[in-house]
Amino acid sequence: MPTPIDPFPDTQIQEHDGIRYLYLDSPWIQGALCLQQPERLVHEYAQRMMLWLLFADAPKRMAQCGLGAGALTRFVLHYCPETALEVFEINPKVIECAHRHFAVPRQHPQLTITAGCAEQQLRQRPAGHYQVLQLDAYPGEATAPALSGQDFYALCARSLSADGLLISNFLGHPQQVHQHIHELNQCFAATAWLPETEDGNLIAISFKEAPEISFDDLYRRADEIKAHYGLPAYQWVQALEDWMLSG
């Protein structure tokens, strides 16, 4: 009888200068852990995934599609103690690795991790269930998001409250990223994005309701985020302002 084919890539771990990295059968880094400060977001793109903090307080309910090394999860558990967080991860090896090697707790009153397809899980949740939804799910080769397309983005919009926010990490050819943005705009009232990081990640934020943006307010909010979370939010506001003026 033939051996069943395992559909999930294996995990690999490397450490350099106090940082532990996760890989999935490829050279692409899937996430990182600062061994001295587990809650710190090591990579710039992961920091930018917290762009929602400019527009909302810590949500009551939040979901993440893709666990990786658990960087976003650890951050939310540390800084948002009132937030109930659900994480959807299709690869059970990633979940086990995150528990064993990346400081993601197996039991935590705020946290639920579900092994399965995020799209299927979102379909089982009631409409308007979350205030914030983060998309950061990539296969081992990291050439395109594992979850995308207008139907999926419409499902994300359905899953969010009236003032909900979707934050997406895009990595790939500019034409593909442009298509993702176009599809998001078919499902959300507005979408904005930051310039690519040095690693090529483009972080976009989509709004169920088009926001009324006061950059004076955003800069004040950015100062608060820097003081409380240690994130370079002032640069995000500058980038959003430049983007809006150039448009």
The token pair that represents 34 in the structure block: 């600062």
CATH number corresponding to 11-211:
3.40.50.150
Nearest to 114 by CA among 136, 92, 135: 92
Percent of residues, the chain, with pLDDT higher than 70: 93
Give the residue, 200 or 163, on which the prediction is more confident: 163
**What value, to the nearest 5°, has the Cα angle with vertex 26 and ends 90 and 89?**
10
- CB count, 10 Å around CB of 217? 12
pLDDT, one tens digit per residue, over 117-170 is: 999 999 999 999 999 999 987 644 555 566 778 999 999 999 999 999 999 999
- pTM for this predicted structure: 0.93
